[in-house]
A and B are shown apart, each in its own frame.
Chain A
Amino acid sequence: KAGVTQTPRYLIKTRGQQVTLSCSPISGHRSVSWYQQTPGQGLQFLFEYFSETQRNKGNFPGRFSGRQFSNSRSEMNVSTLELGDSALYLCASSDPGGADGEQFFGPGTRLTVL
């Protein structure tokens, strides 16, 4: 089975721009979660989608949004980029029949904001 894929792998943007990141989960997985990883804050939960609905949301400003499509692929969007948004953005998928905590991560998209 192919793992979680994320595109693009690297991205450079300037302050004020917006960005869209994409995630394709493991085949059959319907839950997709997004995390932000920075050296200072570590890995932090952004949001989780299941069957095209956002089920959980972390403590991030409204500039961070996401969506999920009927094929379970997910996108996250960050508007009005700030320097502090530079991070590795990770997507994780999980099996609806699996345990709640068992999530499988993709390689991440490394976003640099200049």
Chain B
Amino acid sequence: QKEVEQDPGPLSVPEGAIVSLNCTYSNSAFQYFMWYRQYSRKGPELLMYTYSSGNKEDGRFTAQVDKSSKYISLFIRDSQPSDSATYLCAMSGSARQLTFGSGTQLTVLP
């Protein structure tokens, strides 16, 4: 079993919809939680960063971490066609070594 599980999708939604992306993990040592967005043939771009449990909001994006359930989420409000990409969750403990989910491919239809 992988340390980080992420539904690969693909996920297709109409423009303006609320998108929910999720990851579960098994390693209790993880305390830093990130979401990256990766466009085709590009490197991952850091979207959201959260330390420990809680919520964080940045514009249309909200990240949630529930350490008791070992579950993290990313919500995208008012989704746009430009949000079409692969979304990767990533986690780390005390070392600068990220463990990634497999990525969810999202398509926002105009």
Binds B, one of A12-20, A61-69, A71-79, A105-113: A105-113
In the bound complex, do residue A58 and residue B49 qualify as a contact, i.e. CB atoms below 8 Å apart?
no
1/0 per residue B35-70: CB within 8 Å of A? 010000111111001010000000000000000000
Interface: A22 (CB within 8 A)? no
The listed residue with most B CB atoms (<10 A of its CB), out of A4, A90, A99, A103, is A103
Summarize A's interface: helix, strand, loop or mixed.
strand
The listed residue with most A CB atoms (<10 A of its CB), out of B41, B44, B92, B97, is B97
Q: How far is B34's CA from A45's CA once the two chains are assembled, in angstroms?
A: 15
In the bound complex, do residue B101 and residue A42 qualify as a contact, i.e. CB atoms below 8 Å apart?
yes
Among residues 22 to 51 in chain A, which have CB atoms less than 8 Å away from a CB atom of chain B?
Answer: 31, 33, 35, 42-45, 48, 50
Among residues 19 to 37 in chain B, which have CB atoms less than 8 Å away from a CB atom of chain A?
Answer: 32-34, 36
Tell me which of B41, B45, B91, B102 contacts A105 (CB under 8 A).
B45
